[in-house]
Structure 1
Amino acid sequence: MSSALTVDLNRDRLHDVAAPKTYTTDEAFYVALENHGEAVHIHLHLDDTLSTVAQLAGGNHYVDAGSTETVRVDVDPDDEPVTGKLKIVTGYGAETTYVDVTIEPFEEKNHGVDVDEELGKPQRRDPAEREPSLSEQFAGMSSTSSDGGVPVVAIGGLLLLLALVVGLLVDNAVILLGVGVVIGGVLVALALQTRS
């Protein structure tokens, strides 16, 4: 829904009408009749050209003092822009104002994302390029590292020693239980590693 077409009534004096000279939309809209003074009767009318693509929800309106009334204008856009006049009358014909209203053809807004068709096709990898699985990586390890680094058994032993020291220094049953679990895990890992 486009923004409302605002019409100010009785701002400077009784039966005063202030409206924009032009208004453009491609969808239904509201005429907001804002009364700044005493209560007033308003008549709205679409000329013959504008009424081919727009319909007012009633022509005669009563607007209380200091209030705003909104009048819906339904729109059925054409393939080409249509411009006509909205006539606003107050004081039983004492004041008349016209707004040139243009109804543009409706343009559907594209909120989608363009996707390359190549993304929908499965990509095949060369088996030589794939990375080894975690089990393949562990199976490839030996008890000593191949690049002359620290042996895997030495790292496991260091972790075991660290867990034992923490277990001896801490006097908390929950932490001791956790240290026991870590020690058990390290021993199982070392046993599996030395077996291969």
Structure 2
Amino acid sequence: MPRTEVTVHVNRGNADALEPAAGTLETDGSVALRLQGHVSPAHVHCRLDGDLERIASIEQSNYYVEPDAVTTVPVVVDADTIDQPIDGRLEVVTGYGSESVTIDVTVVPGPPAVDIDDSLSEPTRREPDSTALEDAIDQFTAVSGLEPASLAVVALGVVAIVIATTTAATIASPIATAGLGIVVVGVVVAFLLLVW
């Protein structure tokens, strides 16, 4: 919650008059009591009453309020020490006790503290996910019994045969056909050497 404020009008209309802007207040932290001066200056006394005294404090109790000026009274509330709502009263008195107003205050527990671990500032590193190609290679390796390096040699042999076949078909000469045969024999020999 943002800082809570409550206003009490002092000497509005006649001397020694107090008018609170609100009769009740709920907060989970400190409160700013705003004493709004009007026609004439006044001495104002502030005090806490009830269970509110256990968890709240006012730095000083007496304040001088100038006409047409605001005097702020900080009411420090320690809501971190409670686990259930606390009720009390904030009393404002003027005219040597002849005039007083009471504001009912309920302090609710603040939000729980969040511990931030230093490890949250460090980026996390994820292992890269295996790709479909890696999965296919692993399955083929398990079925065929060949190592991944051997599979690479076989793949290069297949590429060489495809290129030789395309070249022989394009040129259509006996020398290109003989070259295709040599490439096929070389790939078959290399495959046999890998298997045994």
TM-score (norm 1): 0.56
Q: Alignment partner for residue 90 of structure 1, among 83, 94, 111?
A: 94
> Are positions 1:124 and 2:134 aligned together?
no
Cα deviation for residue 122 of structure 1 reads 3.4
1:79-119 superposed Cα distances (whole Å, 9 cap, x missing partner) = 11101111110111111110001111111488x9xxxxxx9
Answer yes or no: is the 8 Å Cα contact 2:4–2:30 preserved in 1.
no
**Residue matched to 2:25:** 23
**Residue matched to 2:51:** 49
Larger radius of gyration between Structure 1 and Structure 2: 2
Question: Per the alignment, in what secondary structure is the counterpart of residue 51 of structure 1?
Answer: helix
Distance change in 2, residues 1:121/1:96 (3 Å): same
Distance change in 2, residues 1:87/1:127 (3 Å): same
Distance in structure 2 (CA, Å) of the matches to 1:4 and 1:66: 18
Higher helix share: 2
Partner amino acid, structure 2, of 1:71: V
Q: Percent identity?
A: 31
**Residue matched to 1:32:** 34
**Residue matched to 2:11:** 10
Distance in structure 2 (CA, Å) of the matches to 1:122 and 1:6: 59
Partner amino acid, structure 2, of 1:34: Q
> Are positions 1:105 and 2:113 aligned together?
no
Distance in structure 1 (CA, Å) of the matches to 2:12 and 2:36: 9
- Unaligned runs of 5+ residues in structure 2 are 117-123, 135-196
TM-score (norm 2): 0.56
Which of structure 1's runs of 4+ aligned residues deviate more than 6 A?
Answer: none
Distance in structure 2 (CA, Å) of the matches to 1:59 and 1:15: 17
Answer yes or no: is the 8 Å Cα contact 2:42–2:64 preserved in 1.
yes
Q: Alignment partner for residue 63 of structure 1, among 55, 65, 79?
A: 65
- Unaligned runs of 5+ residues in structure 1 are 113-118, 130-196
Partner amino acid, structure 1, of 2:52: L
1:148-195 superposed Cα distances (whole Å, 9 cap, x missing partner) = xxxxxxxxxxxxxxxxxxxxxxxxxxxxxxxxxxxxxxxxxxxxxxxx
